[in-house]
Amino acid sequence: MTDNSGLQLPVPRVTPVLDPQFRPAVLANRAFREQARKSGKALPVRLALQQTDGSVHHFNTEIFSEGDPRAAGNFTYLERILKFLLWSRGGWRIYFDGPAALAAKLAAHYRDTATGKFDSNLVGEKMFDQPLEIVNTKDIPAQRAASKPLGRHLDGCRIGFDLGGSDRKAAAVVDGEVVFSDETVWDPYFHPDPQYHWDGIMDSLKKAAAHLPRVDAIGGSAAGIYVGNRVKVASLFRGVPADLFDQRVKDLFLDVKKAWNNVPFEVVNDGEVTALAGSMALGRNAVLGIALGTSTAGGWVNGEGNITSWINELAFVPVDYHPNAAHDEWSSDYGVCAQYFSQQAVARLMPAAGIEATKDLPLPEKLKLVQSLMANDDSRARKIYETIGVYLGYQIAHFADFYPLHNLLILGRVTSGKGGDLILAGARQLLKTEFPELAGKIELHVPDEKMKRHGQAIAAASLPEIR
């Protein structure tokens, strides 16, 4: 059994064919809690994340008592749990009802280590305007979970847009029917000049507007965190220097709104719109949407059909606890979603599958190469998709420990074609094998052709309310 700084990592019953060292987060967490309870001296730990609007989200767990030799794994277990909570719920103040020594170690992690400082900077400072703070106390504030209806407004002449890492889309929508749609390749990640982003967004909007008698409202989805149409954190602008970001990017969408005569305008995280599109198309709620694209986008529509204040930035939630798991180049962390459910994952697995490509070949082109091989039933490409399917099956169970989900919508370029069928089949089989209680509870969905073509655009266009 592998060990991660004292945390035992069970060997999975199903091993990904191209990744024999994979150690699923869900198995390690569940084994840890079960052993702590069996010890008869488990210590309860209460966690709560507070956001700047006063929302407070709770999570309770258990660890080993300080005298137990297995307590060596307490810190790793709690740090990974908090990693998931930070990037799914979000917040800046962490209330910690547990041992003071662990609270101090967690505070030092967010203050002194590269991965901890990344979390503190992006989640705490940039999203919630404060560095992360650990408050060791038994006096945890009551849970306050705000939610609000999202979109579903289809009246009038609307533009819906979606800004991804490799393409941008726009659609003209009249009373819920798409009358025009367009997709344009772009490369926003490392462009230092925000004018590139402005020009691309305006180009897409103008193309859609040309097919409408008037523009009543504009709604959009984009990778990142947006509050009041202001950019808080967004990978689309990661190449923009900090000073230019403050000058030109923070209020970019407010400026876009002005350029369109201040029509009702809303831009939100692309994952939330994905979940909304799935909820609208399926006619169901409690939907977690996951898009396997340039990175991993996520969104959550709760049981009432609303979004919450959770951030659902799933690219950085843990998947694999092996200490030598794939490292993410942006966050410097190991074993997170972006390296397992994305074009990056496909590229990472290509050498292990025996598929050669030049190092400078862009990720979308590497994906196209693997997809073309899969279309011809190439066994090497098949192994890549089978590996991702096993990853996904274990991660669905991990999601279920944090989200009360009943429906999982899976989409994105990585899921296109025969490979996507293999991923879904592998995930479903994994659930039946390892987590039969979840296999009958969680339904896996893929978008139909109408949703693939227009679902995201319609959902995005439906965001603003015309008053």
| 141 and 154 belong to one structural domain | no
Higher pLDDT, 219 or 148: 219
- What are the tokens at 217? 């409202």
The pLDDT-based confidence of 150 (bands split at 50, 70, 90) is confident
Contact 281, 455 (CB under 8 A): yes
In this model, does residue 1 exceed pLDDT 70? no
| 76 and 222 belong to one structural domain | no
3 within a domain of the structure (yes/no): no
**Measured between alpha carbons, how far is residue 154 from residues 220, 400, 454, 457 in Å?**
14, 32, 13, 11
The pLDDT-based confidence of 91 (bands split at 50, 70, 90) is very high
pLDDT, tens digit, 9 for 90 and up, residues 351-367: 999 999 998 999 999 99
| 140 and 151 belong to one structural domain | no
| 77 and 213 belong to one structural domain | no
Look at residue 324 in the predicted model and tell me its pLDDT: 96
Mean pLDDT (whole number) for 12-17: 98
Which residue reads 């967490």 in tokens?
Answer: 29
Task: Collapse the DSSP code of 379 into the 3-class scheme (helix H, G, I; strand E, B; otherwise coil) and give the result.
Answer: helix
244 within a domain of the structure (yes/no): yes
DSSP string for 280-348: HHHT-SSEEEEEESSSEEEEEE-TTSEEES----GGGSB-B--TTSPBPTTT--BSBGGGTSSHHHHHH
Lowest-pLDDT choice from 143-157, 210-224, 313-327, 396-410: 143-157
Residue that is last in its domain, among 95, 122, 145 = 145
Average pLDDT across the chain, whole number: 93
423 within a domain of the structure (yes/no): yes
Look at residue 99 in the predicted model and tell me its pLDDT: 97
Contact 277, 307 (CB under 8 A): no
pLDDT, tens digit, 9 for 90 and up, residues 35-89: 999 999 999 999 999 998 889 999 999 999 988 999 999 999 999 999 999 999 9
228 within a domain of the structure (yes/no): yes
Mean pLDDT (whole number) for 134-159: 91
9 within a domain of the structure (yes/no): no
Strands 93-97, 265-269: pairing kind: unpaired
Measured CA to CA, the distance from residue 355 to residue 49 in angstroms comes to 44
H-helix or E-strand containing 104? helix 100-112
Which residue reads 């070949």 in tokens?
Answer: 361
Measured CA to CA, the distance from residue 390 to residue 172 in angstroms comes to 38
Look at residue 254 in the predicted model and tell me its pLDDT: 97
Mean pLDDT (whole number) for 128-139: 95
Measured CA to CA, the distance from residue 216 to residue 219 in angstroms comes to 10
Look at residue 84 in the predicted model and tell me its pLDDT: 98
| 163 and 230 belong to one structural domain | yes
15 within a domain of the structure (yes/no): no
In this model, does residue 451 exceed pLDDT 80? no
Look at residue 453 in the predicted model and tell me its pLDDT: 61
The pLDDT-based confidence of 190 (bands split at 50, 70, 90) is confident
Burial of 414 per CB tally in 10 Å (0-12, 13-18, 19+): buried
Residue 136: which domain range?
39-145
| 123 and 154 belong to one structural domain | no
The pLDDT-based confidence of 189 (bands split at 50, 70, 90) is confident
Residue that is last in its domain, among 145, 172, 192 = 145
Measured CA to CA, the distance from residue 221 to residue 223 in angstroms comes to 7
Task: Collapse the DSSP code of 182 into the 3-class scheme (helix H, G, I; strand E, B; otherwise coil) and give the result.
Answer: strand
| 392 and 317 belong to one structural domain | yes
| 94 and 162 belong to one structural domain | no
22 within a domain of the structure (yes/no): no
Look at residue 133 in the predicted model and tell me its pLDDT: 96
CB-CB neighbours of 266 under 10 Å:
24
| 105 and 233 belong to one structural domain | no
Mean pLDDT (whole number) for 446-454: 71
The pLDDT-based confidence of 180 (bands split at 50, 70, 90) is very high
13 within a domain of the structure (yes/no): no
In this model, does residue 277 exceed pLDDT 70? yes
Residue that is last in its domain, among 145, 180, 205 = 145
pLDDT, tens digit, 9 for 90 and up, residues 383-406: 999 999 999 999 999 999 999 999
In this model, does residue 344 exceed pLDDT 80? yes
Of 465, 449, 461, nearest to 177 (Cα)? Answer: 461
In this model, does residue 149 exceed pLDDT 80? no
Of 24, 123, 133, nearest to 80 (Cα)? Answer: 24
Look at residue 289 in the predicted model and tell me its pLDDT: 93
The pLDDT-based confidence of 2 (bands split at 50, 70, 90) is confident
| 88 and 71 belong to one structural domain | yes
Measured CA to CA, the distance from residue 14 to residue 254 in angstroms comes to 49
Mean pLDDT (whole number) for 91-118: 97
Q: How many domains is the chain partitioned into structurally?
A: 2
Higher pLDDT, 145 or 115: 115
| 67 and 170 belong to one structural domain | no
Contact 291, 412 (CB under 8 A): yes
Quick one: CA dihedral 239, 461, 288, 122, positive or negative?
Answer: positive
Measured CA to CA, the distance from residue 55 to residue 143 in angstroms comes to 7
| 177 and 127 belong to one structural domain | no
CATH at residue 235: 3.30.420.40
